[in-house]
Amino acid sequence: MARAANIPRYLSLSEEIQSRIHAGEYSSGDRLPSESELCREHGVSRGTVVKAIEQLVAEGIAIRRQGSGTFVARPSMHRRSGKLLSFSQTAISEGRDATQKIIQIAPAGDALAREFHCELPAVSLVRLRLIDNMPCAYHHSLIPDRIARMVPALQGGGGLQDPHFSLYDAFEKAGCGVVQAEERVTARLAEDEEARLLDIATPAAVIVVFRRSFDASGALVEAVEAVHHSEHYTYDMSLVRRTSSEGEDRLRRVHSFEAAANRQTGNASGLNGKKGN
């Protein structure tokens, strides 16, 4: 195996496997050669192969399955905290192609509206979301009628069947663009319909992202439950730990603010009392 000078052998092997994946020799979901096969093929030690595989796993290019081997990972969506992007926008930012297939569109029922904390009447829209033509998420959206009436595609005006249709883009064009959202991320077992559409064997864990999106006035625009194939979803978060002194300073500022607010409230009450006399 030819390699550039000063590059560790495990990195050289990792890069070669990546090149073979990008060339199409191995596709998403394909099993990679075993450790012993790679050792024989490249004339390297098992330790080198193990480190090369670990590098591929760390970069999200491969996944290990206990007792089955190492496989080429499916395209994974990397979500980052603090950034409000649609599914399509997130995929595009990563250089991937996001598409959809409409499963169902119908009026939402009472039970579903309560579960999604969405007003009625509302439109229920179920879609299969794909990245690079691989199924990776099952989206169930509820859109209040007052919003849906402003979106031609949700009124049979065409465009909804377009594989590249984006709800967020449609909301923006209708003048009710999303400016903020609440989001909750959980995990559970896939339901039968979800597993069938996402092409995963049950029992299997899925990542569930529940998001409620709002316009500039604070009105609900969409509530959606997005069920992600666990191999397709990565949530990246940046955390900062405050030192004890920073925490104490912040607490003092909060107490000072509260004291000032209380004094202001007391002064206002005194003035009102004087006016009443």
Q: What is the largest CA-CA distance in the chain?
A: 98
Instruction: Classify residue 273: in a domain, yes or no.
Output: no
pLDDT recorded at residue 247: 62
Residue 212, domain extent: 77-236
pLDDT (tens digit per residue) in 207-234: 999 999 999 999 999 999 999 988 777 7
Of the candidates 236, 254, 271, which is a domain's last residue? 236
Instruction: Classify residue 248: in a domain, yes or no.
Output: no
pLDDT at 251 over 80: no
62-65/180-189 β-pairing: unpaired
**Sorting pLDDT into bands at 50, 70 and 90, what band is 61?**
confident
* Residue whose pair of structure tokens reads 């529940």 in the numeric block: 210
Q: What span, in angstroms and rounded, lies between the C-alpha atoms of 253 and 237?
A: 27
Same domain, 221 and 192: yes
Instruction: Classify residue 141: in a domain, yes or no.
Output: yes
The enclosing domain of 52 has a CATH number of 1.10.10.10
Counting the structural domains of the chain, the total is 2
pLDDT recorded at residue 264: 53
Residues 185, 208, 133: CA angle, nearest 5 degrees: 125
Same domain, 83 and 56: no
Of the candidates 17, 39, 72, which is a domain's last residue? 72
pLDDT (tens digit per residue) in 105-145: 999 999 999 999 999 999 999 999 998 888 889 999 999 99
The enclosing domain of 184 has a CATH number of 3.40.1410.10
Of the candidates 72, 100, 121, which is a domain's last residue? 72
The strand pairing partners of 224, in sequence order, are: 141, 211
pLDDT at 268 over 70: no
Same domain, 117 and 230: yes
**Sorting pLDDT into bands at 50, 70 and 90, what band is 195?**
very high
**Sorting pLDDT into bands at 50, 70 and 90, what band is 269?**
very low
What six digits make up the tokens of 228?
Answer: 């992600």
Same domain, 97 and 141: yes
Instruction: Classify residue 129: in a domain, yes or no.
Output: yes
**Sorting pLDDT into bands at 50, 70 and 90, what band is 259?**
low
* Residue whose pair of structure tokens reads 């603090």 in the numeric block: 82
Q: What span, in angstroms and rounded, lies between the C-alpha atoms of 212 and 225?
A: 9
The region of weakest confidence among 1-15, 64-78, 154-168, 260-274 is 260-274
8 Å CB contact between 129 and 138: yes
Instruction: Classify residue 90: in a domain, yes or no.
Output: yes
Instruction: Classify residue 53: in a domain, yes or no.
Output: yes
The strand pairing partners of 125, in sequence order, are: 105, 141
Same domain, 65 and 81: no
Instruction: Classify residue 219: in a domain, yes or no.
Output: yes
pLDDT at 16 over 60: yes
8 Å CB contact between 171 and 151: yes
Instruction: Give this prediction's pTM.
Output: 0.68
Same domain, 61 and 97: no
pLDDT recorded at residue 215: 96
